[in-house]
Amino acid sequence: MKNLPLYFLRSPPSLRLPVSAANSFLAHLCYFITLSLIGYGSLKLTKTRTSAAPNDLNIFFTSVSAATVSSMSVVEMEVFSNFQLLIITTLMFLGGEVFLSAVSFQLSHQNKQTNHDDPRTIEFENESATVDELSISKSSFMVLGRIIIGYLLATNIGGACMIIIYLIMVPHARHVLETKGINFVTFSIFSTVSTFTNCGFIPTNENMIVFKKNSGLLIILAAEVLLGGCLYPVGLRLVIMAAAKVTGKKGWRYILKNNSVMGYSHLLSGVRCRFLAATAAGFVILQFIIFCSLEWNNSGGIWDGMNPYEKVVGSFFQVINSRHTGESVVDISLISPAILVVFLVMMYLPPYTTFLPLRTKEKASIVDGNDKRQHSVKYFTFSQLSYLAIFITLICISERDKLKNDPLNFSVLNIAVEVISAYGNVGFSSGYSCKRQVVADSTCRDAWYGFAGRWSAKGKLILILVMFFGRLKSFSRHGGKAWKLS
């Protein structure tokens, strides 16, 4: 315990204000439900661009999808007016992991400041740390809070500005938006926030398919995917390292050396960040090789009119988005089933999945910090794969008639893609094609929204639960330990 800052010294239980895992889960659940309801009300009270407004369930579904950064769609995006697009942008920003983690860190820091004035705690602290160390540790919390907010604002504002500049300099991309009646500034802000939060909504009906030849735009968005997603801890640590190098202040170095006691889960050690970056790069390279080998000469027309450079950038953009963002430059329904299986695995994996062969102190400290009650709850919950199997089964039951009458569209694989995509808050969808109907329906019209848009009300409600569950999956990640398969 020597040299620990004041905030992390254990005071008697009666003096602490701990937030249990159950309370934290309920707080997050209430936050997302409230945010979704506010979004629903805002979208309901404002006018759509078209005369045919979505029904209440589809509006609520869209609000939940934005708040949980899932980007599962049941209506075409061009239905929404410019003001409604800004509402959805706000929902995505407030539901994003970086914003929520910044707020949680600030609240946690304030709680620790409130508790540190207890005289018994101060007496304990005086025996284990110097005044100078206390001063550095206190200032470090403030510095870290500011750098998180700065990182969030810089990446979003910088990304939006880069897209605006790109659209001004590339008339073809701007012309696409003009023909659709979409304000290019709104598009830039919406797309940046959506991509950085790993949501995946794009204001156009076709998502990024309509921009598949605009390689510069894809590269900008790909950088936002990584900076706000699986490489956020790496980017944050690099920023802190750069600031420590430039300023030479002790507070920055303290943050880097004491990442495990700063109380911010996204601040990882240098070793973990290096392995995380290597693992993410490995996943991207593996997917890129498989995707290109199977889809380079795709007969479905996904690469029509594209040169080799555009195909390489498009493939790179597609596989990066398979982890958690879900933006797409190709029609998912036209790619190989083998690729879909690879995408299923990638969508299931948590964002900070890391190949870490070394046993680090960081990992040990996390294990030691869990109390017995939390362990007992984890042992009596199911694993996440079990929950996914339950959700897929329930949707197969709710859509059983369509599975019989429209088997090419309503296949178990397509349902699994939709469910795991919602769970991973990705947004990939196989879509629905009237041409694949076994019994042709003359009233059927192809539309640019996800496969879930063709589901029954019961199926959509189940998928809403999946999106909430997926956004809160960190609370159930260690479940199912009581089950032994040997």
Question: Please, which pLDDT band fits residue 93 given cuts at 50, 70 and 90?
Answer: very high
Are 160 and 189 in contact by the 8 Å Cβ rule? The answer is yes
Strands (DSSP E) contained in 164-306 are none
- pLDDT tens profile 114-162: 655 444 343 334 444 454 555 666 778 888 889 999 999 999 999 999 9
Model confidence pLDDT, tens digit, residues 328-387: 999 888 888 899 999 999 988 888 888 766 554 444 444 444 455 555 555 556 677 888
Helix, strand counts (H, E) of the chain? 20, 0
Give the closest residue to 38 by CA, choosing from 3, 13, 66, 11. 66
Tell me the per-residue pLDDT of 246-274, one tens digit each, with 9 for 90 and over. 887 777 888 888 888 888 889 999 999 99
User: What are the b/e assignments for 26-65, b being 16+ CB within 10 Å?
Assistant: eebeeebeebbebbbebbeeeebbeeebbeeebbbbbbbb
- Residue 437 has which token pair? 């109907």
Q: Which of 474, 466, 475, 465 is nearest to 417 (CA)?
A: 466
| Token pair 């640590």: residue | 237
Task: Quote the CA–CA distance of 294 and 94 in Å, as a whole number.
Answer: 38
What is the pTM (predicted TM-score) of this model?
A: 0.85
- Rounded to an integer, what distance in angstroms lies between the CA atom of residue 421 and that of residue 415? 10
End-to-end CA separation in angstroms for the chain: 41
- Span 274-296, mean pLDDT? 93
Scanning 372-486, the segments in alpha helix (DSSP H) are: 372-379, 384-398, 400-405, 412-423, 457-471
User: How does pLDDT run across 168-180, given as a tens digit for each residue?
Assistant: 999 999 999 999 9
- Contact (CB, 8 A) for 403 and 396: yes
Provide the token pair at 147. 């750098």
- How many whole angstroms separate alpha carbon 470 and alpha carbon 421? 9
pLDDT tens digits, residue range 321-344?
998 888 999 988 888 889 999 999
Gap between the Cα atoms of 139 and 150, Å rounded: 16
Distances (CA, A) of 416 to 195, 395, 429, 430: 24, 9, 10, 10
Contacts 24+ apart (CB under 8 A), 266-271: 266/98, 266/101, 266/232, 266/233, 266/236, 267/144, 267/233, 267/236, 267/237, 268/233, 268/237, 268/352, 268/362, 269/360, 269/362, 270/237, 271/358, 271/360
The CA dihedral of 253, 258, 261, 263, to the nearest 10 degrees, is 50
Exposure string for 255-294, b = 16+ CB within 10 A, e = fewer: bbebbbebbbebbbbeebbebbbebbeebbeebbeebeee
- Report the distance separating Cα 36 and Cα 95, nearest Å: 9
